[in-house]
Amino acid sequence: MAEARAVPAATSVRPVSPLATWADHHAYSIVASLGRLLRRPWSTVLTVGVLGVALALPLGLWLVLGNVERFAGQVEDAREVSVFLRGDVDAPAAAALAHVLRGRSDIRAVAHRTPDDGLEALRAIDGLAEAVDLVGDNPLPHVLVVTPAGDETLLATSLSQLPQAEQVQHDLQWRVRLDGWLRLGTRGAWVLAALLGLGALLVVGNTVRLDIQSRREEIGVLQLLGATDGFIRRPFLYLGAWYGLLAGALALALLAGAARGLASPIAELAASYGGRFALQEFALGPALLVLGASGLLGWVGAGVVTGHFLRLTRPTRT
């Protein structure tokens, strides 16, 4: 009877699917690789610290360039073209011209500044109040401050052809120079990212190489038992990915701390110029992209080193 009962019990066991086995081994490799990091806290902290600083440098440069571009965009939105009218243009004629210009599609807004407004603006500047009072008759012309809705260069050329215009002034050179500096900074960020990314690969590869050396005998036994290279490589790949993810998180934390420390001085500086500007940190989407890229970087570094080691130690059949 005992043997009769044992047969159904044995046949009731369901075979494990290859997909479940593959998933179980991946889960085990993830947990085991994290456990190896936690068992060596000081080594992990040093490695992650080096990688985090290396990743923070190009990311910080990209963050600065993004804020500069955003600041330039704010300034560009507030760009103005000043039209100095001839001296014989009186206030009604200047107001009529401003009304006509407001109807143009390439103009967003027009502000009319009278000679008295210009004189008051000069008087508000420190050290010029007494000099302005000695001038006597107001020599300033009427000025139309035009905010363009499109290309201000074309608008300035058009406004200079007005018969009432004496001089048209706008500053384009600063934008050309700023665009040049931004292009240079972007190129420098890519170069710096490539160099430090290569350094991160080497650091992860060397760390994983040391871990492989400490488990050399275990790997040799697995190879003799017929374990595939993918089976042996998988824990080390996750080990490199953990290094990359932790380094990416540290880099984001360092940049967030730096942004928080600079937020107040930058806000005070912008307020002193009558403006408002706040540093923009990495949003959730770019932050997740950074974590994914840093994890992939660690995965690749570990894969290169592990694959090279397995090719050298693979047993040959005679």
What pLDDT digit, counting tens, does each position of 97-140 carry?
A: 888 888 888 888 888 888 878 777 766 665 555 665 666 666 77
HSE (side-chain half, CA atoms, 13 Å) at 254: 20
Top CATH class of 80-169 equals alpha beta
What letter represents residue 38's amino acid? L
Residue 15: its H or E element: none
User: Which sequence spans correspond to the domains of the chain?
Assistant: 19-75+176-313, 80-169
Collect all residues with Cβ–Cβ distance below 8 Å to 155 and sequence separation of at least 6: 81, 106, 107, 146, 148
Collect all residues with Cβ–Cβ distance below 8 Å to 239 and sequence separation of at least 6: 33, 36, 37, 208, 211, 302
What pLDDT digit, counting tens, does each position of 134-180 carry?
A: 666 667 788 888 888 777 778 888 888 888 888 888 766 666 776 77
pTM: 0.61
Per-residue pLDDT of the chain (318 residues; tens, 9 = 90+): 344 444 444 445 455 577 777 777 778 778 877 888 888 888 888 888 888 888 888 888 888 777 776 666 555 545 678 888 888 888 888 889 888 888 888 888 888 888 878 777 766 665 555 665 666 666 778 888 888 877 777 888 888 888 888 888 876 666 677 677 778 877 877 888 888 878 878 888 888 887 777 777 777 777 777 777 777 788 888 888 899 899 989 999 998 888 888 777 777 766 665 556 667 777 888 889 989 988 898 888 888 888 777 776 666 554
DSSP label at 223?
H
Residue 111: its H or E element: strand 107-113
- Distance, CA of 146 to CA of 160 (rounded, Å): 12
Rounded to 5 degrees, what are φ and ψ at 82? -100, 125
- Distance, CA of 119 to CA of 102 (rounded, Å): 25
Q: Of the candidates 61, 104, 20, which has an alpha carbon nearest to the alpha carbon of residue 191?
A: 61
